[in-house]
Amino acid sequence: EVGIVSVFKCYNMNPQKLEKLLHNFFGNSCLSIDVTDNKGIRHTPREWFIAPIDIITETIHLIINGEILKYKYDSDNKEIVKK
């Protein structure tokens, strides 16, 4: 089962651009999984990432304050590091 862990409201920013930035930032930690729906059709979602919620929250703050370009996500150590 899947559940909502956190919700973020976007003000004064394009939510599609925010999503794209998050996908780019966490791209190397995308969860590799196949899900079969109730009709037997297999889907490979690209919306799920393996990252702690506090790291995701910190990343959103880095995007908001414009500092995100100075950092990258180290998926091995599950931390944000300076480039």
Distance, in Å, from the CA atom of 9 to the CA atom of 22, rounded to the nearest integer, reads: 15
* pLDDT computed for residue 5 by the predictor: 87
Per-residue pLDDT of the chain (83 residues; tens, 9 = 90+): 778 888 888 888 888 888 899 999 998 898 888 989 999 999 998 888 899 999 999 999 999 899 999 999 999 999 999 99
Q: How many other C-beta atoms can be found within 10 angstroms of the C-beta atom of residue 73?
A: 21
* pLDDT computed for residue 15 by the predictor: 85
34-55 exposure pattern, b = at least 16 Cβ within 10 A, e = fewer: eeeeeeeeeeeeeeebebeeeb
pTM equals 0.78
* pLDDT computed for residue 38 by the predictor: 94
Looking up tokens 């590091």 gives 81
Question: Could you tell me how many residues make up the chain?
Answer: 83
